[in-house]
């Protein structure tokens, strides 16, 4: 396959998965999204064991005969991520600051750091979206934006720019997402009452670790093209 087409397809797939995961964490699953998920074809083997487990768990969940899955998922979403009806600390708050600050508070240094990164790219939150910048949905959406930026460099066959874009993705992945999301996903698996969100946690965690290998390989390959 032509290198430009190969890169374009891979990066496009990565962008779509980041946007999909970001949507799952931003708000509850609605009927339309659940129908889309039900129609998906999940990979059988993708080279990462936790990711494989997540896809299988999600596939099994959507095959279950449930009376009101949209309501069940809304209740679980509110319980896991918002702490609705929870007394104590059995909540997976979806903010980097909670997982990286000593007192597990929101709006701490991590939020300021990612805000600076977003602004450096000329990005602002969508108007009306009332969540801190270090919310997992926004961090995943930012990675999707970086993929889109990389696509433009690939289309121009500017391999030095592609390499720079990929290095920017790797930096954000390691400095932010992998800095807290694995622990966050572990908490989701502990507190979720539906296999759906247990699956989402595995898919997220497994995919981010797979991304580390993907990006390192792409950067090495791209540097070869630049030589």
SS3 95: strand
Structure tokens at 181: 């999301």
- Domains in the chain: boundaries: 3-226
Q: What is the pLDDT of residue 66?
A: 85
Instruction: List pLDDT tens digits, range 35-74.
Output: 999 999 988 788 899 999 999 999 999 998 888 999 999 9
Q: What is the pLDDT of residue 46?
A: 87
Instruction: List pLDDT tens digits, range 96-120.
Output: 999 999 999 999 999 999 999 999 9
- pTM for this model (two decimals): 0.95
Asked whether 77 and 197 are in contact (CB, 8 A), the reply is yes
What whole-number distance in Å separates Cα of residue 192 and Cα of residue 198? Answer: 6
- 3-226 maps to which CATH number? 1.10.3480.10
Closest to 139 (Cα-Cα) out of 169, 100, 164: 169
What whole-number distance in Å separates Cα of residue 32 and Cα of residue 153? Answer: 34
What whole-number distance in Å separates Cα of residue 167 and Cα of residue 129? Answer: 29
Which stretches in the chain have pLDDT values below 70? 1, 87, 126-128, 224-227
What whole-number distance in Å separates Cα of residue 127 and Cα of residue 8? Answer: 30
Q: What is the pLDDT of residue 127?
A: 63
Q: What is the pLDDT of residue 166?
A: 97
Q: What is the pLDDT of residue 87?
A: 66
């Amino acid at each position: 396959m032509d290198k430009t087409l190969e890169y374009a397809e891979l990066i496009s797939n990565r962008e779509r998965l980041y946007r999909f995961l970001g949507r799952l964490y931003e708000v509850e699953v609605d009927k339309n999204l659940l129908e889309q998920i039900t129609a998906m074809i999940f990979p059988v083997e993708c080279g990462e064991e936790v990711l494989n487990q997540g896809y299988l768990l999600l596939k099994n969940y959507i095959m279950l005969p449930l009376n009101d899955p949209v309501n069940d998922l809304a209740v679980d979403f509110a319980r896991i991520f918002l702490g609705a009806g929870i007394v104590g600390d059995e909540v997976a708050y979806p903010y980097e600051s909670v997982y990286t600050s000593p007192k597990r508070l929101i709006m701490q240094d991590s939020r300021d750091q990612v805000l600076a990164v977003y602004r450096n790219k000329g990005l602002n939150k969508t108007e009306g979206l009332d969540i801190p910048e270090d919310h997992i949905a926004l961090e995943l959406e930012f990675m999707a934006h970086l993929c889109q930026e990389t696509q433009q460099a690939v289309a121009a066959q500017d391999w030095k720019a592609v390499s720079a874009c990929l290095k920017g993705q790797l930096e954000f992945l390691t400095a932010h997402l992998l800095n807290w999301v694995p622990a966050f996903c572990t908490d989701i698996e502990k507190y979720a009452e539906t296999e759906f969100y247990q699956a989402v946690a595995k898919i997220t965690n497994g995919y981010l670790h797979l991304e580390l290998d993907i990006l390192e390989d792409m950067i090495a390959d791209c540097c070869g093209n630049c030589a």
